[in-house]
Amino acid sequence: MNEWRGITREEIPWFPAIEADKCIGCRECISICKNGVLAFNDETLKSTVVNPYNCVVECRTCAKLCPSDAISFPDEAEFSAFIKAKLSAK
């Protein structure tokens, strides 16, 4: 996906952040995400974000299914305000 609602995907700060100290290395997030956003780091034994802009905008499935609550996404209100500003500038 190159655009979302007419906004270039690389302009949209929507992708997961993984809190390494909470990640238990179960790989559940990697198995759920079919877009290659996440990968397993064999050195740290943790999941990591490798292709952030492959993330589907507004998808939070990996965070919802993370058993250790290690994955977060941008604040909803801030993200909504960002998108509204981008759309109104067009």
Q: Which of 57, 37, 59 is nearest to 47 (CA)?
A: 37
CATH code at 63? Answer: 3.30.70.20
Q: What is the pTM of this model?
A: 0.91
Spell out the residues 6+ positions from residue 4 whose beta carbon is closer than 8 angstroms to its own.
Answer: 12, 57
Show the domain range for 38.
3-88
Q: What is the pLDDT of residue 72?
A: 98
The tens digit of pLDDT for each residue in 44-74 reads 999 999 999 999 999 999 999 999 999 999 9
Total domains in the fold of the chain: 1
Residue 64 makes CB contacts below 8 A (sequence gap 6+) with none
Per-residue pLDDT band at 1 (split at 50, 70, 90): low
Taking only the tens place, the pLDDT of each residue in 11-32 is 999 999 999 999 999 999 999 9
